[in-house]
A and B are shown apart, each in its own frame.
Chain A
Amino acid sequence: MKGDIIRFSSLSKKFREFNVLKNVTLSVDHGEVFCLLGPNGSGKTTMINCLLSLLNPESGSIEVFGSENIQEGKRRIGVLLEDDGFYRDMNAENNLKVICLIKGADFSIIPEILKKFGLYEHRKKKVNKLSQGMRKRLALASSLIGDPELIIWDEPYNGLDPSGFNFLRGLIKELNEKGKTLFISTHLLSEVEKTSSKIGLIFQGEMKETLTVNEIIKKHESIEGFYFNHIKNSY
C-alpha cells in the first residue's frame, strides 16, 4: 500500500482570538515514522486533537486513509494522548479490556501485550497506584491493541526512564518494520534523529519545514541546527 495515510490541507484552528494553527499543510506517507517537532505551545497537541476529531478546525481539511470521515477509520488507529486518559480507579487489565471492546479485539491478547511492556505483574493494580512510567507504558500498550495501521503518539517519551527510552526506540523500529505508520509528536531532538524517517517542525502554529533526516543533515547539518535555525525565540 502506497500513498498518504494522513493529509492536512490548509488547516487552521483558533482558540478564541488566538490562532493556534495557521494554514498547516502536511502529508504522511504509508510506512513512515513521522516526528512532529516543536517547542511547548507550538500547536503539536492541537494538530493531533484535530486529527482525532476531538477539535473542529476553523478551516482546511484532514484526510486519514484517504477519507475526510475520520471516525470511519478510527478502529485502524492506535492512540496515545498526552494525558493517558485511563479510568484511574480501575485496574490495568480492565482498562485494556475497555480498549479491546472499543477496538473489537479479543481479550486473549491482553496478557501477551502486558508482558511485552513489563506490566503483567501489575495487571491487577489500580491505574492510580502505578508510577508515571508504568502508566506511560500502559498507555503505549493500549495504543497497540487491535493491531492498528496508523499509530499516533503525543509525547510518548514523557515519564519514561532511560531503559524506557531504549525500549521505545526498539518498539518504533519493530512497528516500522511491520509496515505501520507512526505519527509522533515530541520535543526530544536526540530521539527524533534516532527513530524518524521524516520530521516536521511546527512553531507558533506554522509548519516551518518538513524534511527527511538526510535532507536535514544536508541543509542544516544537524537536527539541532534544523530546530534552532527556525526557532530563534521560543521564550
Chain B
Amino acid sequence: MNFPALFKIELLKLFRKSNVIFFFLSIYLFVTPISRGLDEISKEKVVLAGDFYLSIVNSFSIFGMLLLALFIVNSVGNEINEGSFRKALAVGVTKYEYLKGKLILIVVISLFVVFCALLVFFLFGFFSFKIPFDGLLKGVIGLSILKQFLSLFYAGLFGLFLILTFRNRTIGLVFFPFWLITEFFVYLFGYSGEIKTFYEFFPGIAGWLFYTSPIFSIEQFLIVIIYSTIFVTSSWYGLVLREEKSL
C-alpha cells in the first residue's frame, strides 16, 4: 500500500468517536498548565517574547507527551480489542504497513501539538501581552520547534512500544502513568541533590528534558535516539512474532 492510502486510512480512523472524545479531554487537561504558565508570565513587568515562548513550550511538554503516548495506546488498543487490527491484516495490510501507518499518525499528531503551542503563543502574545508580531516571531526558537516535534514523536513511539509489546491496554493506560510519576519523583530527588540519581537516563524524563531544555544537547538527543530505536524494534517484534488468534 502506498503512502497516500496509509495516510488516508489513519486520517479516517483519527476521527472516530473514541478519538474525538480523547481530543476534547486533552484540551480540558491542557487548560490548567497553560493558564498557570500565562499567570506566571503575566506577573513579569516586561514580558519578553523569548521567555513567553519557553513558558508555553514548558506548559505543553508534560501533558503533550503523556497524552500523545496514551492516545496511541488507546487507539491501537481499541483496534486490537475490537478485532479491526486482525481484519486489516486478513484483508491485505502487512505488519510493516501497519507500523508505517502508526508512525505516520504519530508524525501528524506531533505536528499538530507543535502547531497548537505556536498558535497559543502567537494568540496570547499578540492579544493579551500586546507583543508586536515581529517581536513574537523573533521569540520563536527554530531549534526548539524541532526538539518539540522529536520529543512528541518519541512519546508516541513510547506508547506504541507499550501497546504492541504487551498488547494490554491496562499496562499502557494505568501502569504507564504510575511509572512516569515514579520517574518524576526520582527526578525531583536527583534535582534537589538529596539522592544521587541518573534520572536523565530514564525514558520518560529523558524525553521531557529533551523537550524543555533551552539548548540542544547532543547527549540528550542520543539518549532519545537510543530509546526510540529500542521502542521501534520492540514494537516491530511485538507485531511479527505474535500470532493473531481469533478474539
- Contact residues of A between 59 and 80, Cβ < 8 Å to B: 71, 74-75, 77, 79
Query: Which has the most chain B C-beta neighbours within 10 Å: A52, A85, A86?
Result: A85
Tell me if B46 is interfacial: C-beta within 8 Å of chain A. Answer: no
A188 beta carbon closer than 8 Å to chain B: no
B9 touches which of A45, A55, A56, A101 (Cβ 8 Å): A101
Residues of A within 8 A of B16 (CB): 87, 89-90, 94
Q: How far is the CB of A164 from chain B (nearest CB, A)?
A: 21
A85 to B93: give the CA distance in the assembly, Å: 14
Which A residues lie within 8 Å of B12 (CB)? 90, 94, 97-98, 101
With the chains together, A82 CA to B87 CA distance in Å? 10
Q: Are A83 and B247 in contact (CB under 8 A)?
A: yes
The verdict on A54 contacting B89 (CB below 8 Å), with A49-B245, A84-B83, A94-B12 known, is yes
Give the one of A52, A75, A87, A89 with max B CB within 10 A: A87
A172 interfacial contact with B, CB 8 Å = no
Number of interface residues of B (CB under 8 A): 28
Contact in complex: A81, B86 (CB < 8 Å): yes
A98→B78 CA distance, assembly (Å): 16
Question: Which residue on B lies nearest to A76, using beta carbons?
Answer: B92
Q: DSSP majority for the B interface?
A: helix
Interface residues of B in 7-47 (CB under 8 A from A): 8-9, 12-13, 16-18
Known: A83-B246, A88-B82. A99 touches B90 (CB 8 A): no
Write out, one digit per residue, whether chain A residues 24-55 have a CB within 8 A of any chain B CB (1) or not (0): 00000000000000000000010001001111
Cross-chain contact of B246 among A82, A88, A94 (Cβ < 8 A): A82
Chain A contacts for B87, CB-based, 8 A: 79, 81, 84-86
Q: Are B244 and A54 in contact (CB under 8 A)?
A: yes
Q: Does A126 contact B (CB under 8 A)?
A: yes
Whether the Cβ atoms of A87 and B91 lie closer than 8 Å is no
Could you tell me which residues of chain A, from 115 to 168, have a CB within 8 Å of some CB in chain B?
A: 126
Judged by a CB distance under 8 angstroms, whether B134 is at the interface is no
A101 touching B13 by the CB < 8 A rule? no
In contact, B244 and A55 (Cβ under 8 angstroms):
yes
User: Distance in Å from the Cβ of A114 to the closest Cβ of chain B?
Assistant: 17
- With A81-B86, A87-B84 given, is the CB distance from A49 to B246 under 8 Å? yes
Query: Is residue A109 within 8 Å, beta carbon to beta carbon, of the partner chain?
Result: no
Give the residue of A52, A86, A101, A103 whose beta carbon is less than 8 angstroms from that of B90: A52
Q: Does A102 contact B (CB under 8 A)?
A: yes
Closest to B5 in A: A101
Q: For A94, what are the chain B residues with a Cβ–Cβ distance below 8 Å?
A: 12, 16
Asked whether B194 is an interface residue with its Cβ less than 8 Å from the other chain, the reply is no
Chain A proximity mask over B62-88: 1 for CB below 8 Å, otherwise 0? 000000000000000011001110111
Option from A56, A82, A84, A101 in Cβ contact (under 8 Å) with B243? A56
- Check A104 for interface membership: any CB of B closer than 8 A: yes
Q: Once bound together, how far apart are the Cα atoms of A179 and B86, in whole Å?
A: 28
Cβ of B94 under 8 Å from chain A = yes
A135: min CB distance to chain B, Å: 12
Known A-B contacts A79-B91, A85-B82, A94-B12; the reply to A55 vs B245 at CB < 8 A is yes
Contact residues in B for A97 (Cβ distance below 8 Å): 12
Which residue in B13, B94, B247 is a CB contact (below 8 Å) of A90?
Answer: B13
Q: Which residues of A contact B83 (CB under 8 A)?
A: 81, 83-85
* B174 located at the interface, meaning its Cβ lies under 8 Å from any Cβ of chain A in the complex: no
B90: chain A residues at CB < 8 Å are: 52, 54, 74, 79, 81, 85
B244–A49 contact, CB under 8 A?
Answer: yes
Cα of A88 to Cα of B18 in the assembled complex, Å? 10
* B92 x A75 contact (CB < 8 A): yes
User: Which 7 pairs of residues, A with B, have the shortest CB-CB distance?
Assistant: A85-B87, A89-B17, A74-B92, A85-B83, A54-B244, A90-B16, A83-B83
Interface residues of A (CB under 8 A from B): 45, 49, 52-56, 71, 74-75, 77, 79, 81-90, 94, 97-99, 101-104, 126
Given contacts A49-B245, A85-B87, A102-B93, 7 further A-B pairs with CB under 8 A are A49-B244, A54-B243, A55-B243, A75-B92, A86-B87, A88-B78, A98-B13
Chain B positions within 8 Å of A, measured between CB atoms, are 1, 5, 8-9, 12-13, 16-18, 78-79, 82-84, 86-94, 243-247
